[in-house]
């Protein structure tokens, strides 16, 4: 039986408690411990059972309790102080970035398929969503002009539970939007703001919810509207749920629907950021709108969109890059492509590394790369891998020059640090640690924290983790129908005083969660050592369709059930933000074992650092660029192996060796004050060196300075005089494309072969035939660097060469000087690119001319 009418029942708050509504309806509460404490004070049990959802609490708490609180002077004083802090935070006007002082307008739209913001909002699956959530929080703290765009999944991502055999099961409880900190967007007449898309010729309506992340609005798109057909209402049901057709439909809603939703609300970004390829279709929708509303050609519209797009790729694993068959693309886009004014084969070519290969699948990552001036990876090592993965798109360039560069991920420290450690920082670092978390000067002050206070603070968090794990295990045993004796025995698992190793993340085969189980008997000895034992807490989810990853969990659970280790080895099910926070704040060592180079970044280890937890990881992702023996441990030395079984064997032995010989002895080596002096030294070194670098404030600033400001300048310039700038750029590009194949580097003149002194300069000249192009249309560069024994560049730099004259008939002379900074064997060549004065990056054209060694002559 279905209802014939729906309505919401809202909490009735006493007038004096009205500020609670504002505190509950802004996710600011997720990174301010005091607000959580306020709601916990109202009803601690309800706070925990609601998954820390203040909106739900306001509707579920009894009216009698609300009346009591409205008369409680202490509670009211705490509430008023926090409400005033929020109002002050929201009232501060954005201050323009000095680097963007010349911009008339800067507005960023950040698209992501998932956002991890708070425990009560299950619209994320793992690191990608957590990263997006941390980015929005830092954008809010920095007061940047950013809006987020995502999907509101009414069943979210699955909740994990295990059966008695340790096999992962999934549950999808429906989210009650009326009890979430979101508001349905409405127009001036009170009607919901909606937009529409087409799915295989059928209209699909999208409504828009707004979630305030501090100062930043996150707009969440929802197709669960009564006007839609049942199959379309289900598009935004589950994150990464369904088959590939459902995935494609979700990406149509996110990309095409997201652009239309922003327009429906009157938001006109100057820069777009696609966080992973799920929103790549937003670029095509923007091209369509420019064609339709400004009369631009496809090429002119494409130039505008490329110049204003930033794309971040997150995964070096092929399965993480969505691909779709040509047949599936045709059923969903045949009409849409007609509105773009291009042939369907051309459309498919934008999503293929080799546009001429009719058998290649359509890849959203390739589409995003082709239509973005700025392409970034999420760590330095990841960029090396990403360039190799996508090198066929820029097949004329050396892989080292492929225009994907690194902006390493960071974490929003206030969201992940424990309250106890935050209070310690308040005392010894001052308030600037939270206001300016990327300041090396601020973090240097961790040296002032006394050993005893730092260690006692960390020990309290370990004690809390042990208590939390016991409660979780007790609940798990009851769900499995364990005996009363087994349930009671869970009160004695783990020990709050011994070395605790944590491992928690999304389960995938390449992350090798069972690497530490490679030699179970050796591990048992470590766990049960009579004087210096260790204990291990693990957690994590596998994708519902990833059978091998589920098998990893099952194996871990079976090991944890061995009688001799069950008090020292625990797997916590129902992995979520809360479980991650408790583990990251309470462990001593954070274990990470991905198979290099398959971990793009791996931000969980970053979250450990401000909590005083030391990293123990393979040299992959961020740890490859961050590692130093003074504040952590490396598994292996960054080798790559052809034989994966050999790699697992070698690196698992390294884990046991480091635990036995370095980690365990250092932890238990206590002075007369019973403090581990060497361990504390590593904790301080990690905080002081890594916190100011691997945080999302620095990351958001990097994106703004390296991508958004340039993209917004291009937006403002190309949109002048009703998009005349875009039209001019398209004509210039056509001129370049028409003449490019005629360009010839006729002659390269260089000094004779005498050695050059350090700090000297090598003078070179070249003559280039440009046909109908002018010297201003191209960048002529000397491409130079040290050479290997095979005369290949081991490093490379470029120097711009200047035009010095013409011999007529399209021939031009260029000159330049190469600096000689160090001794050694060096070489150079000449390359010609389209002018960087015209393009946001010259690589977007995919054009380059290289000199031939036969053109060299001595002068």
Q: For 638-693, write each residue's pLDDT tens digit.
A: 998 999 999 999 999 999 999 999 999 999 999 999 999 999 999 999 999 999 99
Cis previous bond, 597, omega within 30: yes
List CB contacts of 116: < 8 A, sequence separation 6 or more: 123, 124, 126, 129, 130, 131, 132, 133, 134, 577
pLDDT of the residue at 855: 75
- Beta strand spans in 301-364 (E): 309-312, 323-324, 362-363
List CB contacts of 463: < 8 A, sequence separation 6 or more: 496, 586
- 3-state SS track over 697-723: HHHHHHHHHHHHHHHHHHHHHHCHHHH
pLDDT of the residue at 343: 97
Among 543, 597, 692, smallest CA distance to 377 is for 597
Query: Residue 228, CB half-sphere, CA atoms under 13 Å: how many?
Result: 22
Whole-number Å distance between alpha carbons of 756 and 501: 56
- Beta strand spans in 522-659 (E): 534-539, 569-572, 589-592, 614-618, 632-635
Residue burial 361-381, b: 16+ Cβ < 10 Å; e: rest: bbbbbbbbbbbbbbbbbbbbb
Q: Can you read off the two tokens belonging to residue 644? A: 């994966």
- Do residues 836 and 779 lie in contact, with contact meaning Cβ atoms separated by under 8 Å? yes
Question: Following CA atoms 464, 465, 469, 475 in sequence, which dihedral angle do they give, to the nearest 10 degrees?
Answer: 40
Residue 233 CA, distance from chain mean position:
28
pLDDT of the residue at 516: 97
Own/partner pairs, 655-664, CB within 8 angstroms, 24+ separation: 655/515, 655/516, 655/591, 655/593, 655/616, 656/519, 656/522, 656/523, 656/526, 658/616, 658/633, 659/526, 659/534, 660/526, 662/633, 663/499, 663/589, 663/616, 663/633, 664/499, 664/526, 664/529, 664/532, 664/534
Whole-number Å distance between alpha carbons of 458 and 588: 8
H or E segment to which residue 20 belongs:
helix 19-24
- Do residues 307 and 711 lie in contact, with contact meaning Cβ atoms separated by under 8 Å? yes
Coil, strand or helix: which one is 114?
coil
Q: Which residue has the tokens 């240097």?
A: 444
Residue burial 677-701, b: 16+ Cβ < 10 Å; e: rest: eebbebbbbbbbbbbbbbbbbbbbb
Angle between helices 33-42 and 73-91 (to 10 degrees): 150
78 burial level (CB within 10 Å; 0-12, 13-18, 19+):
middle
Strands 362-363 and 108-112: unpaired
Whole-number Å distance between alpha carbons of 659 and 495: 18
Whole-number Å distance between alpha carbons of 507 and 224: 30
Query: Which parts of the chain register pLDDT below 50?
Result: none
Q: Can you read off the two tokens belonging to residue 665? A: 């002895």
Whole-number Å distance between alpha carbons of 108 and 110: 6
* Beta bridge partner(s), residue 633: 616
Question: Following CA atoms 789, 793, 795, 798 in sequence, which dihedral angle do they give, to the nearest 10 degrees?
Answer: 140
Whole-number Å distance between alpha carbons of 440 and 688: 7
Residue 112 CA, distance from chain mean position:
9
């Amino acid at each position: 039986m279905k209802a014939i009418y729906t309505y919401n029942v809202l909490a009735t708050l006493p007038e004096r408690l009205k500020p609670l509504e504002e505190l509950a309806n802004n996710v600011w509460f997720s990174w301010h411990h005091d607000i959580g404490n306020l709601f916990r004070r109202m009803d601690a049990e309800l706070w925990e059972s609601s998954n820390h959802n203040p909106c739900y609490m306001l509707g579920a708490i009894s009216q009698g309790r609300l009346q009591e609180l409205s008369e409680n002077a202490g509670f009211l004083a705490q509430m008023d102080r926090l409400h005033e802090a929020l109002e002050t935070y929201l009232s501060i006007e954005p201050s323009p970035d000095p680097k963007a002082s010349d911009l008339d307008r800067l507005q960023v739209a950040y698209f992501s398929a998932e956002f991890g913001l708070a425990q009560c909002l299950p619209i994320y699956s793992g690191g990608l969503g957590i990263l997006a959530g941390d980015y929005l929080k830092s954008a809010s703290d920095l007061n940047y002009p950013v809006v987020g765009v995502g999907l509101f999944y009414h069943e979210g991502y699955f909740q994990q539970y295990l059966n008695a055999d340790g096999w992962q099961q999934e549950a999808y409880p429906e989210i009650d939007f009326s009890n979430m900190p979101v508001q349905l967007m409405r127009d001036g007449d009170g009607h919901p703001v909606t937009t529409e898309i087409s799915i295989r010729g059928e209209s699909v309506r999208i409504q828009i919810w707004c979630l305030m992340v501090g100062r930043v609005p996150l707009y969440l798109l929802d197709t669960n509207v009564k006007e839609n057909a049942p199959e379309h209402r289900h598009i935004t049901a589950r994150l990464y749920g369904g088959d590939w057709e459902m995935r494609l439909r979700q990406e149509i809603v996110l990309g095409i629907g997201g652009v239309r939703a922003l327009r429906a609300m009157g938001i006109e970004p100057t820069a777009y950021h696609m966080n992973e390829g799920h929103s790549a279709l937003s670029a095509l929708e923007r091209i369509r709108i420019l064609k339709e509303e400004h009369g631009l050609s496809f090429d002119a519209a494409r130039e505008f969109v490329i110049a204003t797009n930033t794309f971040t790729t997150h995964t070096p694993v092929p399965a993480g890059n969505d691909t779709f068959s040509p047949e599936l693309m045709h059923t969903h886009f045949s009409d849409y492509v007609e509105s773009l004014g291009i042939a369907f084969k051309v459309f498919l070519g934008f999503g293929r590394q080799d546009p001429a290969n009719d058998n290649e699948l359509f890849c959203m990552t390739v589409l995003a790369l082709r239509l973005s001036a700025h392409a970034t990876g999420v760590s330095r090592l990841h960029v090396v891998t990403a360039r190799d993965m996508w090198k066929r798109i820029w097949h004329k360039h050396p892989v080292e020059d492929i225009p994907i560069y690194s902006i390493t991920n960071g974490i929003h420290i206030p969201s992940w640090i424990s309250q106890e450690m935050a209070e310690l920082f308040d005392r010894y670092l001052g308030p600037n640690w939270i206001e300016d978390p990327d300041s090396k000067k601020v973090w240097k002050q961790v040296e002032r924290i006394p050993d005893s206070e730092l260690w006692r603070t960390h020990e309290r968090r370990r004690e809390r983790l042990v208590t939390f794990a016991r409660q979780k295990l007790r609940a798990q045993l009851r769900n499995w129908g364990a005996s009363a004796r087994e349930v009671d025995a869970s009160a004695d698992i783990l020990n709050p005083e011994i070395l605790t190793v944590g491992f928690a993340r999304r389960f995938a085969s390449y992350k090798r969660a069972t690497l530490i189980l490679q030699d179970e008997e050796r591990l048992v000895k470590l766990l049960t050592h009579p004087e210096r034992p260790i204990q291990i807490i693990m957690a994590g989810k596998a994708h519902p369709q990833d059978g091998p990853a589920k098998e990893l969990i099952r194996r871990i659970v079976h090991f944890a059930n061995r009688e001799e280790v069950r008090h020292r080895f625990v797997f916590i099910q129902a992995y979520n933000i809360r479980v991650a926070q408790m583990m990251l704040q309470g462990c001593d060592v954070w274990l990470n074992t991905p198979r290099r180079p398959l971990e793009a970044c791996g931000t969980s280890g970053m979250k450990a650092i401000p909590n005083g937890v030391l990293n123990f990881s393979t040299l992959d992702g961020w740890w490859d660029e961050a590692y130093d023996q003074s504040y952590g441990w490396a598994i292996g030395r960054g080798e790559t192996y052809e034989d994966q079984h050999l790699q697992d064997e070698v690196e698992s032995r390294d884990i046991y060796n480091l635990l036995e010989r370095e980690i365990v002895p250092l932890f238990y080596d206590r002075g007369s004050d019973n403090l581990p002096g060497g361990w504390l030294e590593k904790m301080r070194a990690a905080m002081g060196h890594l916190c100011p670098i691997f945080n999302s404030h620095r990351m958001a600033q990097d994106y703004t300075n390296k991508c958004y400001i340039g993209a917004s300048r291009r937006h403002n310039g190309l949109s002048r005089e009703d998009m005349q700038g875009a039209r001019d750029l398209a004509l210039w590009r056509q001129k370049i494309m028409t003449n490019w194949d005629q360009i010839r580097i006729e002659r390269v003149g260089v000094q004779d072969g005498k050695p050059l002194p350090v700090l000297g300069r090598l003078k070179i000249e070249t003559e280039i035939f440009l046909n109908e192009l002018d010297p201003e249309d191209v960048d002529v560069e000397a491409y130079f660097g040290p050479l290997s024994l095979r005369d290949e560049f081991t490093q490379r730099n470029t120097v711009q060469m200047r035009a010095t004259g013409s011999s007529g008939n399209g021939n031009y002379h260029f000159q330049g000087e190469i600096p000689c900074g160090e001794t050694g064997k060096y070489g150079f060549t000449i390359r010609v690119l389209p002018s960087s004065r015209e393009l946001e990056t010259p690589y977007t054209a995919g054009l380059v001319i290289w000199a031939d060694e036969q053109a060299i002559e001595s002068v």
